[in-house]
Structure 1
């Protein structure tokens, strides 16, 4: 190193030529390298979501997230698995080891493991989402009703209509690829059972539940024509 410094110290012209060459090469390569403000890349994680309509957070954890977690334990290459259970919904966030060479194969292993879990038949089919950098949230928007601190069901319904209308307008813009809503409550019907009537007619709660499940079916019935 000392000899190299001494060489250039005694030859300032050569040193300037080398320095100019380095600067020129840097400028050329800088122009040739692709640059993006937010480059597209697949993140090494996937989210698994399962809806279990009408189930409490405790039941979702017991019958949804726990069985799936047990199935995921046998998969190698997982860095972390976190889960959350709420009313009627369970979700798991699966992180893979950095720079996983066969990431898509591992994601398929996760899907196969989830599909093999013994979940209640009332639960919806699991959904999966692999996050990409292009889907990263750019802006979060909160909407509220002025001068109202505690929302009544009517207030919440009114606010949710505003949110959905605003969402439709945002999605109509060509620059927007997607909009997600949080804190949105789905309409539901509560059926209150009288225990004395069950006892009178010798009907169990399971029988009532099975009848409701069998009758709560959505299927296409064809086209309605006016003749």
Structure 2
């Protein structure tokens, strides 16, 4: 009743108070972050990822997933554990109650995984711990395309120069490169030539490990100078790799080029990324850059900052390379 009486007796005062509320509301409105799921509605999720090249899904499950699941199962506030075993990779997602702090949960999982990291296979990569929100998906996908560059060259340029350009944008939590075909040296051994020279694949592998090394060999101390000695037998280019000696027979040496084809190629032939646009070319090679928003970041604000950074980066792109937005969740 007091507010009603005041409004009737002093209409000017009530109008001033109303204007103050309107101005304050407008000010706060423009400061509100825009997100699909506000804080408190999305439970924190921690993801553990381990890469083990060449291992089958069964080996991944028994030698990696089960070991990690056993050690993280006792963490506080766990709501659900979802594990995926596939050829070459193990992915474990741990969902926590909404009352659990994401940073604290991540540190707890990291400590627990580090206890069993020595029990994982020697050839497996170190476990990667990622903190995310439930339904953690890319906020944006950028496409790096060219009709004159190969997919290997585009991937190498993207990894070396573009990833860092977008990683330091405020609000970016993680960068994922889609369709990246990493440059590597591929050796295609001919079974016929191998048999003709009385060789096995194991002997070729041993020769590659034995000859292509770089090791410290101690130091040489003198009165006025100290020298560091290195044993450098690492091969720097395709020609030197092709000349690698595999076996000596009487007065001749069988080299790698005599039994195999050596050339540059992707680490995996199974990786592919496609993007379509109005001005796209059917023969374009494309590599994608997936941008994940940091926990608590505004998707709309992140989209604006990424688009501003794209305009800056486009000025420095080499000839033949195009950079654009393929998908924007904002």
Task: Write the mapping of 1:1-227 to structure 2, written as runs, cut at 5 A.
Answer: 1=1, 4-23=3-22, 25-26=24-25, 30=28, 44-101=44-101, 103-117=102-116, 118-131=119-132, 137-141=138-142, 158-171=150-163, 173=165, 176-177=167-168, 179-184=175-180, 220-222=214-216, 223=230
The structure-2 alpha-carbon separation of the partners of 1:123 and 1:172, relative to structure 1 and needing over 3 Å to count, comes to closer
SS at 2:79 equivalent = strand
How many residues end up aligned between the 2 structures?
Answer: 185
On the 8 A contact 1:167/1:179 being kept in 2, the answer is no
Q: Distance in 2 between matches of 1:172 and 1:67?
A: 34
TM-score, normalising length: structure 1: 0.57
Change (3 A) 1:57 1:185: farther
Unaligned runs of 5+ in 2: 169-173, 190-201, 217-229, 233-330
Cα distance, 1:70 vs. partner? 2.4
| Aligned 8 A contact 1:50 1:90 in 2 | yes
Q: TM-score, normalised by structure 2?
A: 0.42
**Residue deviations 1:107-155, cap 9 Å, x none?**
23212322334433332321223359xxx85531457898xxxxxxxxx
Gaps of 5+ in 1: 147-157, 192-207
Whole-angstrom distance in 1 between the partners of 2:115 and 2:231: 40
Please give the alpha-carbon distance, in whole angstroms, between the structure 2 residues aligned to 1:23 and 1:166.
Answer: 48
As a proportion of its length, which structure holds more strand?
Answer: 2
Work out the CA distance in 2 between the residues paired with 1:171 and 1:104.
Answer: 24
Change (3 A) 1:165 1:25: closer
Paired residue secondary structure (1:180): strand
Which secondary structure state, in structure 2, belongs to the residue aligned with residue 181 of structure 1? strand
In structure 2, how many angstroms separate the alpha carbons of the residues matched to 1:172 and 1:122? 28
Cα offset, 1:14, TM superposition: 3.3
Shift of 1:36: 7.1
**CA distance change for structure 1 residues 112 and 24 in 2, over 3 Å: closer, same or farther?**
closer
In the other structure, the counterpart of 2:261 is none
Whole-Å separation in 1 of the counterparts to 2:187 and 2:84? 25
Residue 202 of structure 1: aligned partner: none
TM-superposed deviation, 1:45: 3.1
Q: Deviations over 1:12-44 (max 9, x none)?
A: 2332233234345556x649x977789xx9x93
How many Å apart are 1:169 and its aligned residue?
A: 4.0
Evaluate the alpha carbon distance shift between residue 100 and residue 172 of structure 1 in structure 2; reply closer, same or farther with a 3 A threshold: closer
CA shift, 1:96, in A, is 2.8
